[in-house]
Amino acid sequence: MELTFQVNGRVSRPVAEVFEAVVNPDTLSKYFTTGGAKGRLETGATVYWDFHDYPGAFPVKVVEVVKDRKIVFEWEAEDKAATYDTRVTMTFEPLEDDRTLVSIKEEGFRETETGLQASYLNCGGWMQVLCAMKAYVEHGINLREGMFK
């Protein structure tokens, strides 16, 4: 059994605006990385994300960025039994009426009980990120503010 998941959601803004909200560390810090983001997501870069619920900035290794289309990165799995990276692929698809379909897939979790639990944790987390992204990009509301502090 391969431990892979994908979540998606629609944001009522043009694809360029939604894509920029992810690659730009200043914007990402306003709805996702509650402790801040350092570094723009660009192919080959290593950036650092920090979260109040998981204190301490950690590296995000950017594998590929295709402007307004795709972001691929690797980061350490939240698996207390082993140290390894998972791969996250975010895609951005333009829809009618200047809306954007954002899909987030994460794969590479170990096929163990702790790997399964880590995948569940991240699946829920990515769905929360999509909701927070939608609220921020469409309405300027930070759903995560004060949530973990």
What are the sequence ranges of the domains in the chain?
Answer: 3-139
pTM: 0.94
> In the CATH hierarchy, which top-level class contains the domain 3-139?
alpha beta
Long-range contacts of 68-74 (CB under 8 A, 24+ apart): 68/15, 68/16, 68/19, 68/92, 68/94, 69/19, 71/19, 71/22, 71/23, 71/41, 73/41, 74/108
For the segment 49-63, the average pLDDT, to the nearest whole number, is: 89
Q: What is the pLDDT of residues 22-36, one digit of tens each?
A: 999 999 999 999 889
